[in-house]
Amino acid sequence: MGQKVGALRELAIGESRVSLTPDSAVQLRKLGYVCFVEAGAGEAAGISDAAYRAAGVTVVADAAALVAASDVIVKVRPPTTAEVDLLSAGQTLISFFHPGQNGELLEQARSKGANVIAMDMVPRISRAQKMDALSSMANIAGYRAVIEAGNHFGRFFTGQITAAGKVPPARVLVIGAGVAGLAAIGVAVSLGAQTYAFDVRPEVAEQIESMGAEFVYLDFDGGAQQDGAATGGYAAPSTPEFREKQLAKFRELAPQMDIVITTALIPGRDAPKLWLDDMVAAMKPGSVVVDLAAERGGNCDLTVADQKVVSDNGVTVIGYTDFPSRMAAQSSALYATNIRHMLTDLTPGKDGVIVHNMEDDVIRGATVTFEGAITWPPPPPKIAAIAAQKPKEKVKEPTPEEKRAAEAAAFKAETKNQLVLLAVGTALMLIVGAFAPSAFMSHFIVFVLACFVGFQVIWNVSHSLHTPLMAVTNAISGIVILGALLQVGSGNGLVVILAALSVLIATINIVGGFLVTRRMLAMFQKS
C-alpha cells in the first residue's frame, strides 16, 4: 500500500473549490496512492461525500484526523496558521502558498519540518504546463469575466437586424493577452462582440487576430517590444514614455467601448493602473469594467476588491477576486488535474511513494520548504521560461535585378537537368529497342510519353493547390482507367477481368478523392 493523500476542506469565505475530485482520485489510485477527503470538502463544487466513496476515497470527519492520517495534504488556498500547526515533520503539503507575501507562514512551515510545494511557484517551462495551476485558474477567470460582464451589460453582445430595428454589436476591449486575456477574447468573439485587445508585447498580435479580434497598436517611437522571458513569461513593466502613450490610446478608446476587461498582473507585484477615473467617466452609461487584477489593487482606479461599484456616470466596475470559485466544478476539475500531474512527477516509480527530487527543475522551482529549510526563492531553471518568440528579423527584399538574375539561373539549371534526363532516356530507349519486339516498343513509347506528360503537368502545379483532386495518385488512377477501358474489349477473358478490376479500384480512388476534398472544403465553411 502506498502513501496516503488527503484533501482538506477550504475554510476561506466564498471559496467553493476542492483540490481532489473523484476522477483525479481514480488516477491517483493507479499511481499507488490511497486517497482521503475531509467531510463536506466537495459540496460547494457539487461533489457529494457519496461520490467520493463511490470512487474509493475515504471520507474523514475533520481536518485534524485527515492530516494525522495523511502523508501528503492537498488544498487550494494557502493554509491557515491553524492548518500548518497540524503538520508534522516529513509530511508534504501541496497548495497555493504565495511565499513572497506569506513570510511568517513560510517560517512556520519550515519550523514544523513539512515539505511545502507551492502550486503558484511552478516554473513556466514547457514540461510544467500540465501542472501550471495559475494558467488553469486564469483561463477560467478570463472566461467568467466575460460572462459576468454580460450579466451586468443590458444589451446583446452580437449585432442583430430584427423587425424592431437594428442592434449594433457590443464593443469589448481586453487589456492584456496572457492566458486570462486570450480566454476572454475567445468568449467575447464567440458571443459576437466586436472585440479589441491590447498588450505591450506586439508579438502576440498574431494570436489575437487569429482569434477574430483586432489588435490595438501604438504609434510609439521608443518601440512597444517587451521581453516577457525576463519575468517568467509575463509582460515586463512599461517605461514611463510608453505608459503615457498607452494611457492616451485608452482615453481615445474609452468612449467607444461597452465592456473593458483588464488582466494586467504579475504575481507578487501591485497591479499597474491602466484604466483611470477619466476613462471611466468617458464611457457610456451602462458600460462595464471587469478588473481581473483586483486582488493586487486593480488596474482600474475605481476597483474595490470583492465588490461591484457603480460610477457616477452609470459604469459598473466589477472587482471580484473569486472568478474561478464562481465556476467551482470546472475549477476543481482542472486544479485537481494539476495536483495529480504534480504527484505523477513526484512518483516516478508509480508505487505511491513520494520521491522529492530537488534536481528536477519543476519540483525544485515549486518547493518552498524542504527538510527543515526554506528553499524559496528557487534558482533560475536550467530550461528557459516560456515566452513569446521575438520576431525574426526581416529578410532583405532582393532588388528587381537580383530577382531576374535568380530566375534566369534557376531556368538555366532546370533546362540543363531536363536535357540530361532526355539524353539518358533516349539512350535507354535505343538500348531497349535494339532487343525488344516492335509491338512492345509502340506501347512502351506511349507509356513513357504519358508518364512524362503526367509528371510535367502535376509537378508544375503549386504545392498549395495539391488537393486530393490534384494529387499524383489520382492522376495515375486516370491513366489506369483509360488504359483499362481500352483493354476491356479484348478477346482474352483474363485480360477483361483484370481490366474491369483496374477500373473498379481506380474509380474508388478517384471518388474517394472527391469525398475527401468535399470534407476539406466543409471545414472552411460557416455553418
Task: Give me the active site residues, please.
Answer: 124, 129, 132, 135, 234
What 3-state DSSP class applies to 517?
helix
160-162/165-167 β-pairing: antiparallel
**CA dihedral sign, ordered 465, 466, 468, 473:** positive
Dist CA 57 CA 413 (whole Å)? 72
Mapped onto helix, strand or coil, the DSSP state of residue 275 is: strand
Q: Rounded to the nearest 10 degrees, what angle do helices 472-487 and 438-459 cross at?
A: 150
- The one-letter amino acid code at 376 reads W
In one-letter notation, the amino acid at residue 70 is S
In degrees and rounded to multiples of 5, residue 104 shows phi and psi of: -65, -40
Question: Residue 477: left (phi > 0), alpha (psi -120 to 50), or beta?
Answer: alpha
User: What sign does the CA torsion over 398, 401, 405, 407 have?
Assistant: positive
**Region for residue 160 given its phi and psi (left: phi exceeds 0; alpha: psi -120 to 50; beta: otherwise):** beta
Count of Cβ atoms closer than 10 Å to residue 158 Cβ: 14
Given a contact cutoff of 8 angstroms between Cβ atoms, the answer to whether 11 and 80 are in contact is: yes
Q: For residue 79, which of 180, 66, 24, 142 has the smallest C-alpha distance?
A: 66
As to burial, measured by CB atoms within 10 angstroms (0-12 exposed, 13-18 middle, 19+ buried), residue 240 is exposed
Does residue 271 contact residue 265 with C-beta atoms inside 8 Å?
yes
Distance CA 309, CA 298 (A): 13
- Where on the phi/psi map is residue 297: left (φ > 0), alpha (ψ -120 to 50), or beta? left
In sequence order, the 6+-apart residues with CB closer than 8 A to the CB of 427 are none
Q: How far apart are CA 461 and CA 481, in angstroms?
A: 22
Residue of 285, 45, 303, 323 whose CA lies nearest to 180 = 323
Other C-beta atoms lying within 10 Å of the C-beta of residue 49:
16
Can you read off the three cell numbers belonging to residue 373? 529549510
- List, in order, residues 6 or more apart from 275 with CB less than 8 Å away: 175, 250, 260, 262, 289, 291, 299, 300, 301
